Structure formats: C-alpha cells, structure tokens
Chain A
Amino acid sequence: MSKVIANATNKGGEGKTMLSILLCEYAALVLGKKVLAIDLDPQANFSKYFLNLEYDPYYKGGKIPPLHPDYKEYIKNNKNNKNNWDGRSSIANIFYGEEVIPYPVNNPIFNNIDILPAHSNRLQEAEAVTKEEVLNKVHMQVKKFISLPEVQAEYDLIIIDTPPSKGPLTIAGIKACSHLVIPAQMEEDSIDGIYGMLELWKQETYTRTPSDPINLAGIIANRVRRVSLHESFYNQLQELEATRDYLLNNKIQERVIYGEFRVRDDCNHSNQSVFLLNENNIARKECESACKTIMDKIL
C-alpha cells in the first residue's frame, strides 16, 4: 500500500509547501522511493517548483500546467485529435471525472518524482459545489483516485500539498492520507492554527477503520528563529503532555537559502536542492534530520 502524506495547516506561511518539497526530494533522492506529488492548492506553488507553470490566459492571476511532455507524441498518433486533449493535465481533473496524466519533474536528478500539478481556476471551481454535493464530489475524490490499482502499483509514496484553508480541497487531502504532518511557526496565531488542524484530524480519526488509519506523523516547528518568542512556544508545546509525542525534536530554522531555492526566474535555479548541498551544510543537515524523523514513522 502506498503511503500518503498530507501537509496541512489552515494558516498561510507556515511552510507547508516547503515541507512538501523537502519530503518529496528526501524520499526520492535519499531513500530512492518512487514519489507522486499532488498539488491541491490553487496558488500552485508546489507545482511551480517542479514544473514551468504558465499563466492562465482566461483567468488572470491563475496558473495552469504546461503542455505535457507526452503531448507531441500524442498529437502524432492522433492526427485528428480524437480524444480532444488540450495537452495539459491537472489533479483538478479528478473532480470532473476526467483522467489524469502525471508529469515528470523538470529536475533530471529527481527522475523518480512525478507530479499532478494544480490548475488554479479548475481547483477553485471544484470547491464551489453545494454543501450536499461536497462529500461525494470533492471530499472522497482524492482518496478514490489514490486507491486505484494503477496508482498504488506505480508509487511508493504520495505527498499532498493542501491550500491554507479548511475547505473542501484540504479535507479531500486529509481524507486521502495515511499520515498527516502539521508544520507551524512558533508564534501566537500559528499555535492556534495547530489546534484547528488537530480538530480536523480528530474528526477524521473517528471515521477511519483499523486497516485504514490516519496517523499524526508530526507537528514540526518551522521558520524558527533564535528568539525567546519562538523558544517559549516550542518549549511549552514540548511540555504539554498531549502534544509532546507529536512535536518533532527537529526544527527547521528560518534561512534565506530556502527562499532562494524557490526562485524560478529565467536563470534556471531548478537544478538545486537542499539535499545536493555540501553534506556538512547546516541547512541540509537540519532538513535531512527532520525528514528522516518523519519518514521513519511512515515507512
């Protein structure tokens, strides 16, 4: 059974996408696993890291997946474009009953990572269903998709990035996962956000069966700085009996290099990765140690 990790918080800026990226790269490069990345966030930042997204010409401000590498071949073999494929594929397709074709990521070093990217507008539309329909049309769709034998057979690990909200897309990610990770800054509103996420996790545990559990793989202190604010909150979470077992000992500090690696200008930073830095590099070490702790719980 493929393991499915969902990174979720309803507050923005906690480092969900960063953590999703790290887990994908760690599992692929260090552990040698075949990974499927799923981007449920209309903001599409997870997708943007791995692919050259384009701006949606019809819905300004939104992003769409690029043309699929297999599209040229497809056109050759389907001269009259029987199936009417526009050459793009997004995870949003599953909410419309359409098939999906994962993309290999740009960075050739990570040839064992595939991604089902976001499509900003289509994902937003998918969320806009009525309350009655949301359970069947959205909540269970990602889980259903992941349960397909083809998907289970192809990937060891599936990593889902969710939008900063508690809406239908986030819920769909939580319902599909076997393991939940909650990244959080050690600040006032972020701690509140942890509570909100734990409530969602709790509700989900009620409906799972022993053969299909949802484990809280970890609460991870992210974007940490050496200030008493962050230290206070971290220590208190560690002392609290309820959260002690879930709070990772490994923190991830706020570092410029993480921001630099996300830049997607035309100078092609795409071949960089934290895990390709010098093995004594402090950023690499802290990311390896955090990812190792999480992956040890999962695999």
Chain B
Amino acid sequence: MAKKSFKIKENLTKALEDTIASAQNHNGELNIQLIPIKNINADIANPRDLKIDLTELLNNQYDYNISEKNIHNQINDNLSDLNSLKESIKTHGIINPILVYKEDSKYKLIAGHRRTFAAVLAKLNTIPAKILPFKPDELIINQLQWIENIERNDLDLSERLENIIKIIQAYKKTKNQSDITAKKLSELLNCSLQQALNYHNIITSSNEELKYLIKNKKINSIDKAATIAKSDIQIQANLINACLNGVSLKELKHLASQNNNNQTKLKSLESEDNTKSKSNNINQRGNSSENNNIYLGKTNNYQTVKDIIISVLANPKYQHLVDIINKKIQQTDWSNSQSCSNLFQEFIKVIEKNNT
C-alpha cells in the first residue's frame, strides 16, 4: 500500500514563519506604560530649544504673567505656545506616547518635550511613555529627535541645522570617519538627496555672514540659503542682500544664475575658444551652466491659453503645425491646470523647433 503523504498548507507555513520572526524581532517594542512625570529628566540636548526647565515648572516657580526681563519673555513665549497643547491634553489626554529610556530610577526624555511640559501645565501627574530598555547610542538619539521634530515642520532652519550637525558628528564618531557623503546624509535624515545636498552645502559653507544670519533667524528658507551657499563666493554678498530685501526664491536663483553667466561670458571673451565661432545658438545655450529663460507669466484661465495658441496658429507661417498642435489639444484636459501647462509647454517647443 502506498504511503500517504500530507502537507501543511503553504500559506500556513508562511504565516508560522512570519509570526515567529515578528516575535523574535520586535521583542519589547510596545512597552508603553503610564509613568510619573516627576520621574522624568528632560534631555537638554534636544533640537527644540525650549528654554524651560522641567523641574522648575514642576515646582511651579513660573509666574505666568508677562515679565519684563528678556529671558522671562522667552519663557513666557514658550509657555503661551504650549497653552493650546495644554488645552488639547485636558480634553483628549495625550494621544501619542512620549519616548523615554530608563536610567536607574529615572526616565530620560528623548522625544516629547512639548507634550511633557504641556502635561505639567494641564496638571497631570502621569504620562503615557514608550520605554526603551536602555540608552540608545548618540547617533540614534539624535535621529529619533530629528524624526520626532521634523515631521511637524515647526523647527526653524537654525534649529534643524543644529540637529543635523549633531547627527553628522555622532555619525562620524560612531563610524570613525572624517566625512559624510550627501547620500549617506539623506539616508540618516530620511530626506531626498536634493534636500541632503542643500543641508550639506549650507553646513560646509565658509560664509560666516550666512551662518550668522541663519542663526539669528534672518534667513529661514533652506532653499534660499542653499542657493546662496552653493553659488560663487564673490556674489554671495549680493545674494544675501537680495535675500534680506525679500526677493522670491525664483528671483534669487535667477540672480545667482545671471551672475554666474556674466562670469562665464567674461571668461569666454578672454579665452581663445571664442564661443562666437560656434554658430549653433542652441548648443551655446546648452553649454553654459545656467540658462536665460524668459518667463511667460501665468494665468488660471484656460481660455487665455486657447486664444494665444489659436491666434499664433492663425499666422500662415505656422499653418503646417496646426494638425500636430490640434492633436495635443485633443489630449488636453482643460479643467486640469497641469494638463493646460503641459500643452502650452509643448506648444512653445513645437514653435521653437519650427523656427530653428
């Protein structure tokens, strides 16, 4: 008699594997408990520079009236910031546990400073906390604080840079390396490569004035700061002035590229390889590192776009382009501004190609 054979179903086999792997890999990850606030030590090295002392707050040493001293102003500023959070906590409690690690009999606060302070103001005695069993290494603490804070977009540029510098230093110490690539930085910060490059450019800039202005919150846009930092050192002063005068990012970039272009033109006049000998205009435009774009304005009225295209095509010299443009018009969704923009861009390309 043939021996019978029986199999465990494959999806059950997979399920068994997944469950056991999860249990082994995530041991202790959901250790969330209510802990007494008075056992919490706030970590001062948090990028969110609150300038409030938890112990003083617990001991009720703050007079909540506005005080004249500068320092007190800052404290009161921070306190009034926390008021809306305090009210929300009074109504809904703390929705997200704070993050702490246990050291001796105290809990050291890694992330959740605002919630902790607001909980004190709301007169709570305990707070829900996710408890890490031991102190994570410096790099991870900085990363955790970064993740916690950056998601909320209310760190200003100066605070963000400070934290990034700490992360970079911790990384260099941990990995025993003297430098960090932009790609590695983008992994550590969980941001795009472009963002990482921006941060990197600003941090490695030798322009002290730029750094000073960022620190004093006069320059708060990372894109503007990066534009300045990576442009030619000779024009940075001009760009900084423009920035302080409130130019838009587009204009700033335009200024930066214009100046660079002037440099290129000067150099090419001096060199033997005269660009005039290259008669192909398109190539020259392509060769220079910046561009001379003319901006055609903007509208939210698709009829305007239609009118322009139709009027141009009415010109006999463009008659042969009518069919190809009509095809693109039929593919356009006129209710969608992006679709209209794409159409107009295609239209310009076709016209230009025709003219060269």
Which residues from chain A sit less than 8 Å from chain B, CB to CB?
191-192, 194-195, 198-199, 201-202, 205-210, 213, 216, 228-229, 232-233, 236-237, 240-243, 246
Shortest beta-carbon distance from A47 to chain B in Å: 31
Q: How far is the CA of A209 from the CA of B32 in the complex (A)?
A: 10
Does B296 lie at the interface of the complex (its beta carbon under 8 Å from any beta carbon of A)? Answer: no
Shortest beta-carbon distance from B31 to chain A in Å: 6
Judging by beta carbons under 8 Å apart, are B28 and A209 in contact? yes
Judging by beta carbons under 8 Å apart, are A206 and B5 in contact? no
Count of B residues near A, CB < 8 Å? Answer: 25
Judging by beta carbons under 8 Å apart, are A195 and B19 in contact? yes
User: Which residues of the other chain, A, contact B133 by a CB distance below 8 angstroms?
Assistant: 209-210
Shortest beta-carbon distance from B16 to chain A in Å: 5
Q: Name the contact of A199 in the complex, choosing from B12, B19, B27, B29 (C-beta under 8 A).
A: B19
Q: How far is the CA of A253 from the CA of B31 in the complex (A)?
A: 40
User: Which residues of the other chain, A, contact B19 by a CB distance below 8 angstroms?
Assistant: 195, 198-199, 202, 242
Judging by beta carbons under 8 Å apart, are A243 and B5 in contact? no
Judging by beta carbons under 8 Å apart, are B6 and A243 in contact? no
Does B22 lie at the interface of the complex (its beta carbon under 8 Å from any beta carbon of A)? Answer: yes
Across the interface, name the chain B residue whose C-beta is closest to A210.
B133
* Chain B 9-45 residues near chain A, CB threshold 8 A: 12-13, 15-17, 19-23, 26-32
Across the interface, name the chain B residue whose C-beta is closest to A237.
B8
Across the interface, name the chain A residue whose C-beta is closest to B134.
A210
* Chain B 106-141 residues near chain A, CB threshold 8 A: 131, 133
Judging by beta carbons under 8 Å apart, are A232 and B20 in contact? no
Judging by beta carbons under 8 Å apart, are A228 and B20 in contact? no
Across the interface, name the chain A residue whose C-beta is closest to B133.
A210
Known contacts A232-B5, A233-B8, A237-B8: A205-B27 contact under CB 8 Å: yes
Does B7 lie at the interface of the complex (its beta carbon under 8 Å from any beta carbon of A)? Answer: yes
Across the interface, name the chain B residue whose C-beta is closest to A229.
B6
User: Which residues of the other chain, A, contact B31 by a CB distance below 8 angstroms?
Assistant: 206-209
Known contacts A228-B5, A237-B8: A242-B20 contact under CB 8 Å: yes
Q: Name the contact of A206 in the complex, choosing from B7, B8, B15, B30 (C-beta under 8 A).
A: B30
Best-buried of B5, B26, B27, B32 by chain A (most CB within 10 Å): B27
Known contacts A209-B28, A209-B133: A198-B23 contact under CB 8 Å: yes
10 A-B contacts (beta carbon < 8 Å): A191-B8, A195-B16, A198-B20, A206-B28, A206-B31, A209-B131, A228-B6, A240-B13, A242-B16, A242-B20
Does B278 lie at the interface of the complex (its beta carbon under 8 Å from any beta carbon of A)? Answer: no
User: Which residues of the other chain, A, contact B8 by a CB distance below 8 angstroms?
Assistant: 191, 233, 236-237, 240
Q: How far is the CA of A189 from the CA of B29 in the complex (A)?
A: 31
Best-buried of B5, B7, B20 by chain A (most CB within 10 Å): B20
Q: How far is the CA of A237 from the CA of B7 in the complex (A)?
A: 10
Judging by beta carbons under 8 Å apart, are B29 and A236 in contact? no
Q: How far is the CA of A213 from the CA of B28 in the complex (A)?
A: 9
Q: How far is the CA of A198 from the CA of B22 in the complex (A)?
A: 10
User: Which residues of the other chain, B, contact A208 by a CB distance below 8 angstroms?
Assistant: 27-28, 31
Shortest beta-carbon distance from B135 to chain A in Å: 14
Q: Name the contact of A240 in the complex, choosing from B16, B22, B27, B29 (C-beta under 8 A).
A: B16
User: Which residues of the other chain, A, contact B21 by a CB distance below 8 angstroms?
Assistant: 242
Judging by beta carbons under 8 Å apart, are B20 and A243 in contact? yes
User: Which residues of the other chain, B, contact A206 by a CB distance below 8 angstroms?
Assistant: 26-31
User: Which residues of the other chain, A, contact B26 by a CB distance below 8 angstroms?
Assistant: 202, 205-206
Does B175 lie at the interface of the complex (its beta carbon under 8 Å from any beta carbon of A)? Answer: no
User: Which residues of the other chain, B, contact A240 by a CB distance below 8 angstroms?
Assistant: 8, 13, 16-17
Does B4 lie at the interface of the complex (its beta carbon under 8 Å from any beta carbon of A)? Answer: yes
